[in-house]
Structure 1
Amino acid sequence: MNRRTTALSAAVALAASLALTGCSSSSDAAGDGKPELKVSGAFMPKPVTDMAGGFLTITNDGDTADRLTSVTSPISDDVTIHETKDQKMREVKFFDIPANGKLSLARGGNHIMFMSLKEKPEQGDKVSVELHFEKSGPIKVDLPVEAANHNPQQH
Structure 2
Amino acid sequence: MKTTALTLAAACLPLIAAAAEPAPTVADAYARSANAHAGAAFMTIHNPGAADCTLQGAQSTVAERTELHGHKEEGGVMKMVKVESLTVPAGGDLKLERGGNHVMLMGLEKPLKAGETVALTLDFGPCGQVPADVPVDNERASGAPMSHAGHDMAPAAGHHHGAPATADAKPAN
TM-score bin (small chain): 0.7 to 0.9
User: Which residue of 24, 35, 42 maps to 2:29?
Assistant: 42
Which range is displaced more, 42-51 or 111-120?
A: 42-51
Which of 1 and 2 has greater Rg? 1
**What are the Cα deviations for residues 96-154 of structure 1, in whole angstroms up to 9, with x where unaligned?**
1111111110001001111111111211110111000122221111110112x413548
**In structure 2, what is the Cα distance between the partners aligned to 1:73 and 1:130?**
7
5+ residue gaps, structure 1: 1-31
User: Which residue of 121, 124, 141 maps to 1:133?
Assistant: 124
**In structure 2, what is the Cα distance between the partners aligned to 1:85 and 1:41?**
25
Q: 1:46 to 1:92 in 2, by over 3 A?
A: closer
Query: In structure 1, what residue type is equivalent to 2:110?
Result: E
The normalised TM-score by structure 1 is 0.72
Query: Sequence identity of aligned pairs in percent?
Result: 30
Mapped contact 1:47–1:121 kept (Cα < 8 A): no
Do structure 1's residue 150 and structure 2's residue 140 form an aligned pair? yes
Q: CA RMSD in A?
A: 2.0
Partner of 2:56: helix, strand, or coil?
Answer: strand
Give the Å deviation of 1:76: 1.1
User: Which residue of 56, 67, 73 maps to 1:69?
Assistant: 56
1:110-125 to structure 2, matched below 5 A, reads 110-125=101-116
Query: In structure 1, what residue type is equivalent to 2:118?
Result: V
Mapped contact 1:107–1:151 kept (Cα < 8 A): no
Equivalent residue pairs, number: 123
**In structure 1, what is the Cα distance between the partners aligned to 2:137 and 2:124?**
26
Partner of 1:107: helix, strand, or coil?
Answer: coil
Mapped contact 2:30–2:42 kept (Cα < 8 A): yes
**In structure 2, what is the Cα distance between the partners aligned to 1:80 and 1:35?**
25
**In structure 2, what is the Cα distance between the partners aligned to 1:45 and 1:60?**
24
Do structure 1's residue 79 and structure 2's residue 70 form an aligned pair? no
Mapped contact 1:65–1:97 kept (Cα < 8 A): yes
Question: What residue in structure 1 maps to residue 83 of structure 2?
Answer: 92
**In structure 1, what is the Cα distance between the partners aligned to 2:140 and 2:122?**
22
User: Which residue of 40, 57, 63 maps to 2:44?
Assistant: 57
